Each structure stands twice: as structure tokens, then as C-alpha cells.
Structure 1
Amino acid sequence: MAAALGAAALRRLHAALPPRLKRLAVHPPKSVEVEFADGSSFHLSAEFLRVYSPAADSKIRSVGGEKVIFGRRHVGIMSAESVGNYGIRILFDDLHKTGIFTWDYLHHLGSDKFGLMRNYIITLRKHGLSRDPQRRK
């Protein structure tokens, strides 16, 4: 019985771990592609990655206590550099570069890309903001 519990716990732990990164391709200025050992692969746009950057950012607008990044529809990726064996740092053309996208985080973003983007658009609408950049006066 103890061996069966041990095997079940090991299966749960293995299922909870994100799969190992198999391939990463950066396609400046528009996207990043990631492929994982479990066969999942994701195409993530520059806008999506910029909006969900894991870094605190001075260009985030706080609206009603909610942090919202807006106006990034046309943001581009200028470059990316590896950070150890666990992630990449992306330099966007709005000069944001402080977020480190770990393989785990990229898998999370890809796995829920449509739900996250839908929630982002709902949040923008709720606050009267747009994905498009503001016009300069």
C-alpha cells in the first residue's frame, strides 16, 4: 500500500511540473515560439508577451487599483537573451526589458493564451482603454 501511495504521489508531482522546454525561436519584431517536451507548442505575440511581462513596470497605469498595460498592440521585440538555463529576457521596442520569462511562465502563458487575452481585453474595455497606442498631441 505504501508503494502505491508513493507512486500516486509521484504521478501527481510529475503532472504538476511543467514540461521541459524543447525549442525556442524568437521572431523579431512580432513573436516567440516555444515547444515543450510534452508536444505542446505555442506562438506568443509581442503584444501578449509585453502585456504579461512578469516585471514591475513604470509604464503600467493604475486604474481603480488595478494595474493595466494598454496601447501595446504594435509593440515589437528587438532582441532576447537567455538567462541561465531557465528563461529569457526580452527587449521590447518600447524599451521595456526587465521581465524574465521563465520556461514555466511561457508554458503557463501559452496554455491559457486565449483566456488571458480575453481577460485583458475585458479589463481594457472596463476602463475605457485601448490596445492601440495613444496619439501624440
Structure 2
Amino acid sequence: MTAPEPTEIRLRRAERVLEITFADGAHFELSAEYLRVESPSAEVQGHSPSERQLVAGKKAVGISRLEPNGNYAVRITFDDGHSTGIYSWDYLHRLGREQDQRWTAYLKALDAAGLSRDPG
């Protein structure tokens, strides 16, 4: 499935939220923390599912910059310096659709690993 293109992208910096509306009417509010821990970068995703990294301590992370990447994606730079993930429209749409399930799985994985969302 190819996601529709966004019709509006709004960074609510103070709230650390990326608000995105797609041409199909889907509307998502994605926290910077959620986007950071689900980064599509090789640093987080690895090169196979077995290499996926659990990213902890990002509760207070913010987004410092958004850069269009062609007509298909956006590069998000986080204030912790992470900037290697390119978020395609399809990936952002999927993150929005799957937000509840992914977030629940993330919290369970943190707990199982004895890690925290809190920095440091």
C-alpha cells in the first residue's frame, strides 16, 4: 500500500509534536519521542529485524528541524543530534496508523529491558 501524500505538516515545537494530515483525510499527531524511537535509520532499525535497537531515554527529545527530501519524504533532525532517518510519507502514515500498537510494544520492551523513557 502506498500512502497518500501529506496535505499539511505542522511542527508544534513547544509540545514536541509533528502534526500531519494526508490527502486521504488521515490526521496524526506524532510525538518527537515516538518518531525518534521509531526512526527509520539504520542506527535504530539495523539492517535486519534482529539488529533493531531499543532506544531509551528520549522522553524529553524535541525536533529541531524538518527538511523536505524530494517529493516523497522528510528528514527530521532531533535536538539530541540524531538526523539520519528519512521518513517517507508511507512510513509516517504507517506510524500514525500503528501508533497505539507500536507505543505499547515499545513500553513493554523498555520495561522488560529495565530501561526508562527518562533521559540519563
Tell me if structure 2 keeps the 8 A contact 1:68–1:124: yes
Tell me if structure 1 keeps the 8 A contact 2:43–2:53: no
- Unmatched tracts of structure 2, length 5 or more: none
Measured in 1, the distance between the counterparts of 2:80 and 2:42 equals 15
Tell me the residue number matched to 1:83. Answer: 69
Change (3 A) 1:65 1:23: closer
Alignment of 1:61-76 (within 5 A): 67-76=53-62
- Unmatched tracts of structure 1, length 5 or more: 1-15
Structure 1 counterpart of 2:10, from 18, 25, 28? 25
Report the residue type matching 1:98 in the other structure: T
Equivalenced residues, count: 115
Tell me the residue number matched to 2:26. Answer: 40
1:20 Cα offset (Å)? 2.6
Tell me the residue number matched to 2:116. Answer: 130
Structure 1 counterpart of 2:39, from 49, 53, 68? 53
1:124 Cα offset (Å)? 0.3
Structure 1 counterpart of 2:107, from 121, 125, 129? 121
1:19 Cα offset (Å)? 2.3
Tell me the residue number matched to 2:84. Answer: 98
Secondary structure at 2:95 match in 1? helix
The structure whose Rg is larger is 1
Identity of aligned residues (%): 43
Q: TM-score, normalised by structure 1?
A: 0.78
Report the residue type matching 1:93 in the other structure: D
Change (3 A) 1:92 1:39: same
Q: TM-score, normalised by structure 2?
A: 0.88
